[in-house]
Amino acid sequence: MDVTSENRVVVTGMGCVTPFGVGLDTFWDGLISGRSAVAATADEVWRQWAPVVAACNHFSPADFLPRKQVMNTDRFTQFALVAGAEALRHAGLLGESGDVLSVDGDNVGIALGSAFGGIQTFEAASIRLSTQNTSRVGARVVSKSIPNAAAAALAMQHHIRGPVMTYATACASAANAIGEALSWLYTGQVDVVLAGGAECLFTPTILAGLHDAGALATSGPEDLSQWSRPFDADRRGMVMGEGAAFLVLETRRHAERRGAQVLGELLGYGASCDAYHETAPHPEGAGAVLAMRRALKSARLDVGEIGYVNAHATSTPAGDSAEIRALRELFGEHLDNLPVSSIKGATGHMLGAAGAVEAVATVQALRTGVLPPTLNCDRPEAGAPADLVSNEARPCPVDTAISNSFGFGGQNGVLVFGRSGR
């Protein structure tokens, strides 16, 4: 695919709902402060499988959405609506009517990643049928729970009529959504893409399933906020999170024509599949290496030109070890001098939305010259990257960075970002 100076893809807006609260500034301030959003699980039923979570406790959909819309949407869609609107507003594209400004809605697309969609709605309906003397669940159950519900709601909210696609590739969903949007912009199918992900998987079935698969942390330090421990030798599993994040992507030519502020550049994208196991990553990180190599090739960069890695590192023993091997295989000796961090020590793992939240963090790191920390990595696993930006944010201007996302089924998505004006 021929990339010219005019069709290079830039980031012009970002928005998010995270366990730190609502909004980009709230997220970034929480992240670089070194605080953790991980805490005890409030729901007594869920606590038997997941004693700690990173929940969006400060999010009340009624504060942002009309009552009828709240009734007709699942929580993951509500996250998407709020985060997507912030991203469009940040890009200077949101009119008072809710329409996208200065661009025809036919020429705007949506690429959204979610591992499950509206699973809370679906499970509540199943429980109703099985425990109550009724054969009815309501007319909105399917439309609220179907995986493309959030993307469709965003399209209707903002009158976006271009391609509106939903990607379900486990923990790589949002990264794949953002990466796949590149081709739409390179080939001129659309001028603007709202790309990201949304997820809310706090249900008995999902938590019990992840617990039984050995993925969740069920014990840890006395301080519960320290249970998510990426790359730490004493890590015991991931901590579940929830939320949404979006980036507004457009060609540089289109952004310049409308006088938009450029926050960063999406330089490349790589995807692959381990083709190894339903839940475990390839132990040598073979698929992860392939995705990273493809991303660098797409970005036309060598390994020595990367200045920072936002790692996937979920705090699972197998996953972090495989990523360490992948990074060693790809970067070689350069890894010893390369800053690496995982924000999941602070945010938990948002599964299908993780790639979008971490893409926002990566762009913010390039914009501000501050790298977010890896919390709770007190004793790094043998062989881990030498520079894990441990526990405290670090002023460190860099020009390029990669963001990794690896999921169940061996699904891998890697994004390469560049600093604006580099």
Q: Supply the residues annotated as catalytic.
A: 171, 312, 349
Element holding 418 (H helix, E strand)? strand 411-419
- Bridge partners of residue 414, in order along the sequence: 270, 404
**Sign, Cα dihedral of 46, 47, 49, 50:** positive
Number of H helices, E strands in the chain: 14, 15
> Residue 190 is encoded by which pair of tokens?
């659309």
Q: Give the CA angle between residues 82, 141, 115 to the nearest 5°.
A: 60
Burial class of 279 by CB neighbour count within 10 A (0 to 12, 13 to 18, 19+): middle
Contact 350, 172 (CB under 8 A): no
What is the rounded distance in angstroms from the CA atom of residue 387 to the CA atom of residue 380?
10
Backbone angles phi, psi at 224, to 5 degrees: -65, -25
What is the rounded distance in angstroms from the CA atom of residue 417 to the CA atom of residue 9?
10
- Identity of the residue numbered 258: R
Burial class of 116 by CB neighbour count within 10 A (0 to 12, 13 to 18, 19+): buried
- Identity of the residue numbered 413: G
What is the rounded distance in angstroms from the CA atom of residue 39 to the CA atom of residue 343?
15
What is the rounded distance in angstroms from the CA atom of residue 369 to the CA atom of residue 146?
40
What is the rounded distance in angstroms from the CA atom of residue 228 to the CA atom of residue 348?
6
Task: Name, in order, each residue with C-beta under 8 angstroms of 259's C-beta and a sequence gap of 6 or more.
Answer: none
Q: Say if strands 400-407 and 340-341 run parallel, antiparallel, or are unpaired.
A: unpaired
